[in-house]
């Protein structure tokens, strides 16, 4: 079963609330994408199936689509998630750059990798 990486999971946790809040405020699905993850905020009152039909054709690089919903009365949560294209084991560009930057910082500080 495909899984999110730690940075992808951090993106979901960090951005989810803002995505569903913007969807509720605008009454249209709100999309935020980073690497292999696309977060889709489903507006209050919209059927999840409608949001999927409306947002799936939007082009992008995401492998995982995660549909979220929330309200003031209830915390946000995932209402649907799906894999939309084959999962690769190549690191997304943002993760690769982060690891390279960390390695450069270690070299510059004289730390040894392990």
Share of the chain above pLDDT 90, in %: 50
Could you tell me if residue 99 is inside a domain? no
pLDDT digits 0-9 by tens, 57-109: 888 888 899 999 998 887 889 999 999 888 766 666 766 777 677 778 778 87
- Average pLDDT score over residue span 30-58: 94
* CATH code for position 59: 3.30.300
Could you tell me if residue 97 is inside a domain? no
- Which stretch of DSSP H or E encloses residue 11? helix 6-26
Could you tell me if residue 42 is inside a domain? yes
For residue 68, the cross-strand partners are 41, 78
Mean pLDDT, rounded, of the chain:
86
pLDDT at 29 (0 to 100): 97
Could you tell me if residue 46 is inside a domain? yes
Could you tell me if residue 1 is inside a domain? no
Higher pLDDT, 24 or 59: 24
20 Cβ partners below 8 Å, 6+ apart?
30, 41, 42, 68, 69, 70, 76
What is the C-alpha separation between 30 and 22, in angstroms, rounded? Answer: 6
pLDDT at 92 (0 to 100): 63
How many domains does the structure of the chain reveal? 1
pLDDT at 15 over 70: yes
Its domain, for residue 24, covers 6-85
Could you tell me if residue 62 is inside a domain? yes
pLDDT at 1 (0 to 100): 66
Could you tell me if residue 100 is inside a domain? no
If we measure between CA atoms, which residue out of 26, 66, 64 comes closest to residue 45? 26
Could you tell me if residue 20 is inside a domain? yes
């Amino acid at each position: 079963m495909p899984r999110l990486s730690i940075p992808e999971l951090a993106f979901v946790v960090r951005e989810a609330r803002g995505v569903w809040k913007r969807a509720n405020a605008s009454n249209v699905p709100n999309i935020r994408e980073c690497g292999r993850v696309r977060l889709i905020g489903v507006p209050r009152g919209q059927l999840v199936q409608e949001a999927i039909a409306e947002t799936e054709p939007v082009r992008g690089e995401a492998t995982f689509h995660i549909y979220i919903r929330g309200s003031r009365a209830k915390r946000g949560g995932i209402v649907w998630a799906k894999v939309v294209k084959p999962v690769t084991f190549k690191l997304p560009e943002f993760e690769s750059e982060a690891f390279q930057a960390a390695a450069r910082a270690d070299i510059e500080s004289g730390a040894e990798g392990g």
